[in-house]
Structure 1
Amino acid sequence: MTRISLLRSLWRRTRREAEEDAEAGRSIVMPVQNVAAPLRQVLRRLVMALAVLGLTTLLVYVDREGYHDNSDSAVDFLDSAYYATVTLSTTGYGDITPVSDGARLTNIFLITPLRVLFLIILVGTTLEVLTERTRQQVRIHRWRSRMREHTVVVGYGTKGRHAIETLVGQGKPKDKIVVVDPQKKVVDAASSDGLVGVLGDATRSETLLRAELQRASQVVICTERDDTAALVTLTARQLNKSATIVVAVREDENVPLLRQSGANTVVTSSSSAGRLLGMSMMSPNVGTVLEDLLTYGNGLDVVERPVTKREAGNSPRDCADLVVAVVRGHRLLHFTDPEAATLHLADRVITIKQAAPPAAEG
């Protein structure tokens, strides 16, 4: 793939598609909170209002001798329900009135508080519906103001999900991960998983800016197509010069192009899977160990950590876990490199260690 083909791919986007992407890019989906569904909330409030209406009707019917109906003087159960309805709704036609002292006291101390409660239920439901959008905007504004040094994951498919699982397993909080994807159902799934989702085309600067990529420290790009990955990488590097960008591509021939576009690390999914298949065929045990190393939190894990004060000045072989490489400054030294024979306090080591046991569920 060449830069010309990338430009052609970008040129083929129609104006209608661009307008749809711009519309989608305006949507930010916050993590799902543990609140009742809107329909369930309305039904619950409706039941409460009917219960208040039923109680008021019962109070009036029990004390029906203290009321006067202008039409026929007598007050039956239907008249009691009618009086309760017009009273709680503050309509008050005046055709049925309390005339005895007991009925008037009941209206003062019981029916009036029930009327207030009835109005609170109705007004509360209305206000909740009216303020839901404002509440969502406040959540988004608050999220934007505190989002720093986070991770943006472009694509929430199989690769993106496993990348996030590994990040979370290594201690990355979910509120520090933002998912960008052009499919609404995928963004909703990310929101259900406790992640912030941005709906839109990641090749557009507007979408990545809504994900606060300009203030992110890490970017993981897991798109379905290599040309899309290259465009996203170019856009992300233009917005953020210092973030670490890791990209997954299908073909080895596209790796140099992705590196030129600004990617720090490029992982070739198809060739990596092919090599793992070949190793497993020649030696199933080697394939099992590699699969174990690639699965975080199970068996053996590959981790990068700083050198401790006790380890500084010693050989990597003296560490409690197995050191396979040393990171010194911007250089990666393999364990066979003579420069890695002595650890420095400012070094970082890449080690293989036993995975921590899963936390017991309480």
Structure 2
Amino acid sequence: MKKIINDPSAVVAEALRGMALAHPELIRVRPDPAVVVRADAPVAGKVALVSGGGSGHEPLHGGFVGRGMLDAACPGAVFTSPTPDQISAAVEQVHGGAGVLLIVKNYTGDVLNFETGAELAAAEGVDVRTVVIDDDVAVKDSLYTAGRRGVAGTMLLEKIVGAAAERGTDLDGCEELARRVVANLRSLGLALTACTVPHAGEPSFTLAEDEFELGVGIHGEPGRQRLPMEPADQLVARLLGPVLEDLPFAEGDRVLLLTNGMGGTPLVELYLAHGIAEKLLADKGIVVERRLVGSYVTSLEMQGMSLTLLKLDEELTELWDEPVNTAALRWGI
């Protein structure tokens, strides 16, 4: 294992220390329990958005803390759910009197721990709501979940609901909006290589040089199929087909397309894949109104990619375009 680390057990703490030093104008970091909080929190009268999950998916979630997105993120150990005390501490740090919305990826540990954290916060009189995201169309159940997994669509949800909260939308409105986004969001990923969790010291699974895994999870969970390697045209078509069928998306739909890298994929390959995806969508009469290309929801150094489609309407498009100022996503400022 070659990684730029010291003690494997201290990776997250040391990374958070560096993140705080790199972005003091955007965030502050509470070390114990570990919470990343926007620098001006709590914002009085604003619904606070809190998310989190295992580390190793950076920039998700801490990189999306700031104006127009999250108020706080709870980073667990690598590929490990945050603890309830982290979640209740985050709520305490950012609650500005208008309630708190928790955005939770659908993994059993995340759901249970966020539920406990919400109960702790509610006992202190905070109005806390929870929305679970399950955008992965690969498998219905997996090693980590009951039902579908939450994957790259999470950052689109955080951006859109974060913009609404910044506008002053109340807690009921933010919760309804979040559920509407989840209902119109679908993703699918593939892996060319496995990743290595620092404390494990070896790859999480094995792929032959001429194989890829279709439908892999962001923790390296198995997907739909292990197949012989193919050219990019075929790989992108294999990703896009199940995504389009699942909602389903149809001719005339307006969409946001996220072409997301898993951590070890060069940007040149992501742009190549994105171009193929846009052409396939245009051939089906689906209009890509907004797009984003890059590594936003990763799996350490895994080589691979995912495609996410969100069906847009006027409100969702406007909220996507609203200003955002975070470490990993910034425009309109």
Is TM-score (shorter-chain normalized) higher than 0.5? no
Q: Per chain length, whose mean CA-contact separation is higher, i.e. which structure has more relative contact order (CA < 8 Å, sep 6+)? A: 2
User: Which has a greater percent of strand?
Assistant: 2
User: Which has a greater percent of helix?
Assistant: 1
TM-score w.r.t. length of structure 1: 0.29
TM-score w.r.t. length of structure 2: 0.31
Asked which structure has the greater CA Rg, the reply is 1
